[in-house]
Amino acid sequence: MSNVSKDEALKNASNVVALLSQGSDPFISEEVRAQALQAANLVIRALEKPEDGLIKFAFSPTTWMAIRVCAQLNVFDMITKHETISAAEIARIANADETLIRRLLRVLTAAGFVAEKGNGLYGPTHWTVHINSRLAQGMLKFIYDSSMLPIAQGVNWLKETGYRNPVDPQHGMFQAANQTDMPTFKWLTVPKNKEIWDNANTFFEGDRGSRPSWVTWFPTKEKFFPEGHQQEVPLLVDVAGGRGHDLMEFLDKYPDELGPFVLQDQQVVLDSALSLSPKIEKQPFDLFEDPPVKGARIYFMKFILHDYADEQCMQILRNVKASMVKGYSYLVINDFILPDVGCGLLQSQWDLMMMVLLSSMERTEAQWRALLESAGLSIEGLYLPPGDAQGIIVATL
C-alpha cells in the first residue's frame, strides 16, 4: 500500500460489490453505475503507488497520439472488421511500416483498446468498436487536432499573462497557438479548417457520451407542454442546435407533438444536418446578432453558454430574452452544474478544455444564478439527473 490503508481499499471494494448487487434487474442504472465507478476508482487509487501512477500519467499523451495515428490510418476499422488481423496486413493496407504499427498497437493493447491475439495479431474489443464509430472518430480527431498545441503552450501562456483567468475570446491559448486573433468558432469556419470544423460538429452530436438525454429523466411534458398550444408559434426552438441531434431526440420521445419545431444555427452547420424530421424547420441564425424566432414555448440551449465568458453570454441571453413571452416562454439550459465540493473528473477536465479552446468555463450553481439573474432572468429551478450527467436549468422572464 502507498498512501491509503488496506482497510480503506477493502471498504471501497466492498462498496463496488454492494452497489452492483442491488436489485434483480440484470442492467445497471445510471446512478448505480456512476457510484460504482467512483468507488472502483478509489480502489485503484488505493492500490496504485503514487510514484508509479504519476509516471504512467506523465507518459499518457503517447497513448493519445497512438489512438490518433491509428484513427488516421483506419486501423480501428481494419481490426473491427476482422476477428484476427496481423500487423503485417495492417501495415500493407495502410502503407505503413510494420514495426511502427506494432509499436502503436503495443500501447493500445496494454490499455485495453485493442485485443492482442498473439505475436503481431490483433482483434477487436468493445473499445475498438466504439472508437471506430463515426461520433467517436469526430470527437478524438477534433479534440486532439484542436487542443494539443494550445495545451502544450498553455503553461507559458498563463505565465506570460500573469496567471489571469482567460475571458477574452480573441486572445486565449487557442489564439496564441494558432497565431490568430479570431474567436475559435470563427477560426474553425475558415475554409482551410473545414475538416476540423466537420469533426467538431460530429463530436457535438455525441458529446453527451452514454449519459441519458434530458428528455428521459426530466418531466418535460408535464412542465412545458401547454394545453391548447397554438401551432402558429414553435413548441421548441433549438438555439444554435448544430445538426439537430438533440431536437431529434426530443421528437423521438414525443412523436405525436405537432410542433412547430425550429433548428437555428449558422447556414454552414444547417447544410450538414441531413437526417432531420420533416417537422423541423431549419433557420440560419447568428447567436450574437439575431434573436431566436419569437414567441416559442421552449428555447433550448445545450452546451452553448459554456462556450463563452460572461460578457458574451449576456449578449446571447439578451437576444433570447427579446424573443421570450412573459408568463409563457421558458429558457431550458442543458449544461454542467459544477458542485463547489467533490467535482467529478470529467466535469473538471471539461472546464479546463473550455478554458484552453474558448477562454470560457463550466459554471457552479452560484455562477449560473449570478449570470442569469444579471441578465434579468428568473431561475425556476436547477435539476440534476441520477448519475453524473449534465443538469437542466430552467429560467423565465
The b-or-e profile of 71-94 (16+ CB within 10 A means b, else e) is bebebbbbbbebeebbbebbbeeb
8 A C-beta contact, residue 128 and residue 76: yes
Tell me the C-alpha to C-alpha distance, in Å, between residue 262 and each of 59, 247, 294, 332, 382: 46, 9, 11, 15, 25
**Half-sphere exposure (Cβ direction) of 361: Cα atoms closer than 13 Å:** 15
- Residue 121's nearest CA partner among 136, 131, 134, 106 is 106
In the numeric block, the cell 444579471 is attached to 374
- CB-based contact 387:31 (threshold 8 Å): yes
Instruction: Compute the distance between CA of residue 123 and CA of residue 118 in angstroms, rounded to an integer.
Output: 10
SS3 282: strand
Any idea of the CA torsion for 359, 206, 305, 170, to the nearest 10 degrees? Answer: 30
CA atoms lying within 13 Å on the CB side of residue 159: 5
Cβ atoms of 270 and 206 within 8 Å: the answer is: no
For the chain, what is the largest distance between any 2 Cα atoms, rounded to a whole number of angstroms?
68
DSSP sequence for 258-308: ---EEEEE-HHHHTT--S--TTEEEEE--TTT-PPSTT-SEEEEES-GGGS
**Which DSSP string corresponds to 370-386?**
HHHHHTT-EEEEEE--S
Place of cell 490510418: 73
- The verdict on whether 229 is a catalytic residue reads no
Cβ atoms of 376 and 368 within 8 Å: the answer is: no
Q: What kind and span of H or E run contains 202?
A: helix 194-205
Strand order, beta sheet including 115-118: 85-86, 121-123, 115-118
Peptide bond into 260 cis (omega under 30): yes
CA distance 350 to 207: 11
Q: Enumerate the active-site residues.
A: 306
